[in-house]
A and B are shown apart, each in its own frame.
Chain A
Amino acid sequence: MSPKLSRRRFIKGVIFSSAAAASGAGYYLATAQSNSNAVVERLLSLNINGRNRLVDVAPTETLAFTLRNKLGLTGLKVACNRGECGACTVLLDDVANYSCSLLTHSIKQKAITTVEGLRAADGSLSAVQQAFVEELAPQCGFCTPGQVMSATALLRANPNPSREQARQALAGNLCRCGAYDHYLNGVMRASELLS
């Protein structure tokens, strides 16, 4: 009825198009077109913010959904749900990824870091978080967790980036408030705090 083809519907269409799905306790029979008899274990062990978490995950579930709705990690935001904006950015083995565009079952053994996992053990803010506070980088804040994660990924790979490198690294994170200049100032200040 609705003319839209959301990403969720697209995934549903792919997963269910050729199959009848049956569910059992802890298991889900997912029938992709290429492998009509695959059995997917629903109970996954995910390494999140340094801890192993057991979670029941449907084959169609995005990582953003699992983190927000199953594990209560609501820091990441779902602003577009189709890989356009970066508000859902998390780190997989220290590399920035859009969690709205990853199926949780595809993560396997990668270490997941969300914005909740950046504070030090004593609760103090990370360098990026501290610098973003000092530069008043966020405005409305809805894109901020994603900006923090992209900046963190950059500085873990390159602790002394140029402003242009920082600009490229954060280009996949949209900010409707237009706080780009302040975010860039924040990245450069974080780099100083780390050195």
Chain B
Amino acid sequence: MSFMHIGKDFTPPDVEGKVTGDAKYVEDFQPEGLVYARLLTSPMPSGRVVAIDASEALRMDGVLGMITAEDLPPSTAPANPMLASEDVTYVGQPILAIAAISDEIAENALDKIRVDFEHRPFVTDPLESLVEGGPNAYPDGNVLQQSNSLADENATIRGGFGTIKWPANEIQRLRNGEEPRGVDFAGGWTYGDLEGAFAESKVIIEESFVTAGTPHHCMEPRSAMAYWENGKCYFYGSTQSQSAVNESLAAMLGIEPENLCLISENTGGGFGSKGRSYPIMGVCGHFARLLNRPVQLRITREEEFYIGVARPGMQGWIKIGVRADGTVAAVDVIIISDGGPTGRNSASSSAQHISVVYTPSAMRLRNIPVFTNTTPRGAQRGPGQNEMSAALAPIMDQAARQLGMDRVAFRRVNAPNNESLVYEYQGPVTSAYLAEALDKASEMFNWQQRESQPRQRDGSKVRGIGVGLGYHSAGGSGYDGLVRIDPNGKIYLHSGVGNLGTYSYAGTVRAAAEVLQCRWENCEIVSGNTDRHLPHSSTQGGSNTIFTHTRANWVAAEDAVMKLKEIAAAEFGGSVADYSIGDERVFKTQDSSQGMSYGEAAAKAIELGGKYSGQEYPDDIHPITRRAVEGLAGTGLIGVAKDNLPKRGIAPGLTVGMAEVEIDLETGKYQILDYVGVSDCGTVIHPQGLSQQINGGAVWGFGMAATERHVYDPQNALPANLGFYQAKLPTMLDVPAEMKNAGVDIADPDNPAGGRGVGEPSQGCAVAAVTSAIADALDGHLFNRVPVTADMIVNHAAEIEQESKLLALNTF
């Protein structure tokens, strides 16, 4: 199919502001009368606030007030509170905020406040809490008992406390890579005949594994600024969405969504951490109401690390059965998640990753989310899938080797296709071309030639190559699209998708321009401020916007085209079937002189009123979209619709990564020499944007493989790595000087624009390619720990025991 806009590069309207410094982020808005709030955070990992004495601070010149948990709606543990009081659960947890006329005075005032705490026991490693007699992170239990489906990783956790303890010898069995016996779990799922599938396996592998939790490290700390006017809150936030955040933030502030104007023009990175409203947004909004002044709450780099909602670590065991032909028969997996104080975990997503990329005939997940007194946990790029991908790749390589199969060929025979059934409920996919992605990557990387070469040794240096697979569900449905044509013929494309820098807020509205067959120069994107009449949109996360919002924009533009044709038919006679569009005109197909411009049709729409100019609208659109249409009514021709297009199953975002690494066995340092990333992303919507996601995701993968992790001092539960360089994200020198990427570019049939998203799995395939390559360089050695640090490699090369206790988490 030939497209006018889709598949072509364009310059998103916000790029110029980013290179000139004109782009505004939260901290760049400084209205008159602004006051500065600073947080006082907990110095201890677990306890209760007994008393706060701020009298001296509040007497200081320039100090305007304080907000504590008492000023806020009550919060019930284990929910993540705006400010803590009854349950202080981690070092760095916000206890109160103080506001002053300058940042410096506010900071000085914090030093004058005295807080008395009651101490409680604490724990930083899930297995240390799971063992009989081990401490619990909360007085009421050590495990989150979830009442919602494990399958919905974006669900708000609704659950309470439970207590699960295992005998010490069963914990030790898990550490040793053996299945624990006769122990309790909090949840899980199963499908197929597990026992029968293991019975028909030729190769069976059993391993334990551990993956570290990781901070998001968004470059923009999640700052906020708010003020109130006549009961309406104007909130400047760093978010991944307009509408997805609007409702939850309004609820946090105790107001109706129509009384909240959320301004979020640019967001300095989110990666899952800003998908919905988060606690300090509530602190800022309530504080501004309390003081009746504009309040800016700037979060420091250290605080950004503390308040986290980071990726949970996991400790687990896996048993894999593979048939003689290389097909994976059975997978049995146990995942103990480090839920931090929120219990948030991605165990089901981790297991679903396996069910999609290796399509086993039978599978079982058993899991426990364990509370620890570490940073709160939430969604991070490919939550569950990517860390599982990292741990799994070298283990699957070993299965291939034992069968004598090439590692890529092994993945190819298990790759999902259009007929595959996935997840615990064994449902269909919209389409899947992972085998084609493997073929393309192999060709670009020259896999066969490189794999056939003997592993090069150069002094202390040794090379290896690896292959990794990434997956994330990549698309939803049911959101709304909204377009407007004004009487001058200008076309306004409204988007409630957040602006994180993936440019999908802009890429997806090009689907509407495609349907309207209009010039891109004549379109204006309307976004960034809920008062600008934005439709109900998904969060800009979950790799979903490309699929979800090209569909929503498509149906809204189709609605506009239908209205254009109806208006023309009323003017020139005949039925809508007699009319076509082109060159921003609607005209009789048989006689193009009988027609009118889009601008003339928009003027007619205003005259006609009703559905044509937004006085009436479909019953099924979301209340947020209804308000947006009501705000636009009478200003032009309105195209608005809910995406009710068919969606036959999971829309999978699938990726392949191939990497070559060179390891120095004397220093343990390794370099990634070469990387190729290929995505099964459906139709390529925006080539430069796709390249950014594949390469950027790969950089994340390199960090996860090598250097990023949480470390806590077990004696005091103090975080040991607060900055960028301690849980180090890759620099330009840590990645190859040039990286190659491509898309398979086969349309997904359930999207008229053809695309699926790949932002998240682009990390998963890269980290897996690196862990696979490291194992390859070391004769198949399994560390079963991610990240693989220089220390671990040196210890292995020296044939000495690793320093970390087996399966220990939050450790060096």
Which residues of A are interface residues toward B (Cβ below 8 A)?
1-4, 6, 8-9, 69, 73-82, 84-85, 87, 114-116, 118-119, 125, 128-129, 132-145, 148, 163-164, 167-168, 170-184
State whether A79 and B9 are in contact (beta carbons under 8 Å apart), knowing that A4-B302, A84-B724, A179-B695 are contacts in the complex: no
Give the residues in chain B near A76, CB-CB below 8 Å: 21
Within the complex, which residue of A3, A134, A176 is in contact with B269, where a contact is CB–CB below 8 Å? Answer: A176
| Contact indicator B689/A174 (Cβ below 8 Å) | no
Give the residues in chain B near A183, CB-CB below 8 Å: 732
Is B14 in contact with chain A by the CB < 8 A criterion?
A: yes
| Contact indicator B15/A175 (Cβ below 8 Å) | no
What 6 pairs across the A-B complex have the smallest Cβ distances? A75-B21, A178-B699, A142-B268, A141-B18, A140-B501, A139-B501
Instruction: With both chains docked as a complex, state the minimum distance between the C-beta of A180 and any C-beta of chain B, in angstroms.
Output: 5
| Contact indicator B20/A118 (Cβ below 8 Å) | yes
| Contact indicator A138/B733 (Cβ below 8 Å) | no
- Given contact pairs A6-B300, A133-B16, A145-B18, enumerate 12 new A-B contacts (beta carbons under 8 Å): A4-B302, A6-B302, A73-B21, A79-B220, A81-B301, A84-B725, A125-B16, A125-B19, A167-B733, A171-B733, A179-B696, A181-B691
Within the complex, which residue of A82, A172, A179 is in contact with B301, where a contact is CB–CB below 8 Å? Answer: A82
A174 to B698: give the CA distance in the assembly, Å.
Answer: 15
Map CB proximity to A onto B12-38 as digits: 1 under 8 Å, 0 otherwise. Answer: 101111111111110110100000000
Residue pairs across A and B with CB atoms within 8 Å: the count is 191
| Contact indicator A140/B20 (Cβ below 8 Å) | no
A132 to B268: give the CA distance in the assembly, Å.
Answer: 17
Give the residues in chain A near B731, CB-CB below 8 Å: 171-172, 174
Instruction: With both chains docked as a complex, state the minimum distance between the C-beta of B519 and any C-beta of chain A, in angstroms.
Output: 20
| Contact indicator B302/A140 (Cβ below 8 Å) | no
- 12 pairs across A/B with beta carbons < 8 Å? A3-B92, A75-B21, A80-B724, A125-B20, A136-B688, A139-B501, A139-B502, A171-B732, A172-B731, A174-B729, A178-B699, A182-B691
Q: Which of B9, B216, B724 has the most CB of A within 10 A?
A: B724
Instruction: With both chains docked as a complex, state the minimum distance between the C-beta of A30 and any C-beta of chain B, in angstroms.
Output: 15
| Contact indicator A87/B219 (Cβ below 8 Å) | yes
| Contact indicator A140/B267 (Cβ below 8 Å) | yes
| Contact indicator A168/B733 (Cβ below 8 Å) | yes
Q: Which of A73, A141, A170 has the most CB of B within 10 A?
A: A141
A140 to B92: give the CA distance in the assembly, Å.
Answer: 27
Query: B10 — nearest CB in chain A belongs to which residue?
Result: A136
| Contact indicator B696/A74 (Cβ below 8 Å) | no
A125 to B114: give the CA distance in the assembly, Å.
Answer: 52
| Contact indicator A74/B110 (Cβ below 8 Å) | no
State whether A136 and B9 are in contact (beta carbons under 8 Å apart), knowing that A77-B219, A125-B20 are contacts in the complex: yes
Task: Identify which of B399-407, B612-620, B735-743 touches chain A.
Answer: B735-743
Q: Which of A3, A82, A148 has the most CB of B within 10 A?
A: A3
Give the residues in chain B near A125, CB-CB below 8 Å: 16, 19-20
Within the complex, which residue of B18, B28, B115, B729 is in contact with A144, where a contact is CB–CB below 8 Å? Answer: B18
| Contact indicator B724/A180 (Cβ below 8 Å) | no
Give the residues in chain A near B23, CB-CB below 8 Å: 141
Chain B interface main SS type: loop
State whether A79 and B91 are in contact (beta carbons under 8 Å apart), knowing that A74-B28, A140-B269, A145-B21 are contacts in the complex: no
A1 to B27: give the CA distance in the assembly, Å.
Answer: 26
| Contact indicator A80/B41 (Cβ below 8 Å) | no
Q: Which of B21, B500, B503, B733 has the most CB of A within 10 A?
A: B21
Q: Which of B12, B23, B43, B266 has the most CB of A within 10 A?
A: B23
| Contact indicator B725/A177 (Cβ below 8 Å) | no
A79 to B218: give the CA distance in the assembly, Å.
Answer: 9
Within the complex, which residue of B22, B691, B692 is in contact with A177, where a contact is CB–CB below 8 Å? Answer: B692
Give the residues in chain B near A1, CB-CB below 8 Å: 40, 43, 110-111, 113-115
Query: A162 — nearest CB in chain B belongs to which residue?
Result: B737
Give the residues in chain A near B40, CB-CB below 8 Å: 1-2
| Contact indicator A180/B301 (Cβ below 8 Å) | no
Instruction: With both chains docked as a complex, state the minimum distance between the C-beta of A42 and any C-beta of chain B, in angstroms.
Output: 15
Give the residues in chain B near A82, CB-CB below 8 Å: 301, 723
Residues of B672-731 whose CB lies within 8 A of A? 688-689, 691-692, 695-700, 718, 722-725, 729-731
Query: A4 — nearest CB in chain B belongs to which residue?
Result: B302
| Contact indicator B724/A181 (Cβ below 8 Å) | no
Give the residues in chain A near B718, CB-CB below 8 Å: 3
A184 to B268: give the CA distance in the assembly, Å.
Answer: 20
| Contact indicator B22/A179 (Cβ below 8 Å) | no
A129 to B20: give the CA distance in the assembly, Å.
Answer: 7
Is B217 in contact with chain A by the CB < 8 A criterion?
A: yes
A85 to B724: give the CA distance in the assembly, Å.
Answer: 8
A164 to B266: give the CA distance in the assembly, Å.
Answer: 31
Give the residues in chain B near A77, CB-CB below 8 Å: 25, 219-220, 268
| Contact indicator B266/A141 (Cβ below 8 Å) | yes
State whether A180 and B732 are in contact (beta carbons under 8 Å apart), knowing that A76-B21, A87-B219 are contacts in the complex: yes
| Contact indicator A138/B501 (Cβ below 8 Å) | yes
Give the residues in chain B near A3, CB-CB below 8 Å: 43, 91-92, 718
Instruction: With both chains docked as a complex, state the minimum distance between the C-beta of A79 and any C-beta of chain B, in angstroms.
Output: 5
Query: B303 — nearest CB in chain A belongs to which residue?
Result: A4
| Contact indicator A141/B302 (Cβ below 8 Å) | no
Query: A164 — nearest CB in chain B belongs to which residue?
Result: B737
A114 to B19: give the CA distance in the assembly, Å.
Answer: 11
Give the residues in chain A near B115, CB-CB below 8 Å: 1
A177 to B735: give the CA distance in the assembly, Å.
Answer: 13
Give the residues in chain A near B502, CB-CB below 8 Å: 139
| Contact indicator A142/B15 (Cβ below 8 Å) | no
| Contact indicator B21/A177 (Cβ below 8 Å) | no
Instruction: With both chains docked as a complex, state the minimum distance between the C-beta of A22 and any C-beta of chain B, in angstroms.
Output: 15
Is B221 in contact with chain A by the CB < 8 A criterion?
A: yes
Is B107 in contact with chain A by the CB < 8 A criterion?
A: yes
State whether A133 and B11 are in contact (beta carbons under 8 Å apart), knowing that A77-B268, A82-B301, A177-B501 are contacts in the complex: yes
Query: B702 — nearest CB in chain A belongs to which residue?
Result: A178
| Contact indicator A80/B301 (Cβ below 8 Å) | yes
Give the residues in chain A near B111, CB-CB below 8 Å: 1
Give the residues in chain B near A177, CB-CB below 8 Å: 219, 269, 501, 692, 696
| Contact indicator B698/A176 (Cβ below 8 Å) | no
Q: Which of A163, A168, A184 has the most CB of B within 10 A?
A: A184
Map CB proximity to A onto B551-569 as digits: 1 under 8 Å, 0 otherwise. Answer: 0000000000000000000
| Contact indicator A80/B723 (Cβ below 8 Å) | yes
A137 to B17: give the CA distance in the assembly, Å.
Answer: 13
A96 to B718: give the CA distance in the assembly, Å.
Answer: 35
Give the residues in chain B near A184, CB-CB below 8 Å: 732, 737-738
| Contact indicator B220/A140 (Cβ below 8 Å) | yes
Give the residues in chain B near A145, CB-CB below 8 Å: 18-19, 21
Instruction: With both chains docked as a complex, state the minimum distance between the C-beta of B197 and any C-beta of chain A, in angstroms.
Output: 39
State whether A143 and B219 are in contact (beta carbons under 8 Å apart), knowing that A6-B302, A177-B692, A177-B696 are contacts in the complex: yes
Instruction: With both chains docked as a complex, state the minimum distance between the C-beta of B723 and any C-beta of chain A, in angstroms.
Output: 6
A179 to B25: give the CA distance in the assembly, Å.
Answer: 19
A143 to B266: give the CA distance in the assembly, Å.
Answer: 12
Residues of B492-513 whose CB lies within 8 A of A? 500-503
Instruction: With both chains docked as a complex, state the minimum distance between the C-beta of B645 and any C-beta of chain A, in angstroms.
Output: 29
Query: B17 — nearest CB in chain A belongs to which residue?
Result: A141
A143 to B723: give the CA distance in the assembly, Å.
Answer: 16
| Contact indicator B700/A178 (Cβ below 8 Å) | yes
A138 to B25: give the CA distance in the assembly, Å.
Answer: 15
Instruction: With both chains docked as a complex, state the minimum distance between the C-beta of B684 and any C-beta of chain A, in angstroms.
Output: 14
A134 to B301: give the CA distance in the assembly, Å.
Answer: 31
Give the residues in chain A near B219, CB-CB below 8 Å: 77, 79, 85, 87, 140, 142-143, 174-177
| Contact indicator A75/B22 (Cβ below 8 Å) | yes
Within the complex, which residue of A81, A115, A176 is in contact with B217, where a contact is CB–CB below 8 Å? Answer: A176
Q: Which of A77, A114, A142, A144 has the most CB of B within 10 A?
A: A142
Give the residues in chain A near B739, CB-CB below 8 Å: 181
Map CB proximity to A onto B51-94 as digits: 1 under 8 Å, 0 otherwise. Answer: 00000000000000000000000000000000000000001100
A69 to B102: give the CA distance in the assembly, Å.
Answer: 11
A168 to B698: give the CA distance in the assembly, Å.
Answer: 20
Map CB proximity to A onto B611-647 as digits: 1 under 8 Å, 0 otherwise. Answer: 0000000000000000000000000000000000000
A164 to B43: give the CA distance in the assembly, Å.
Answer: 44
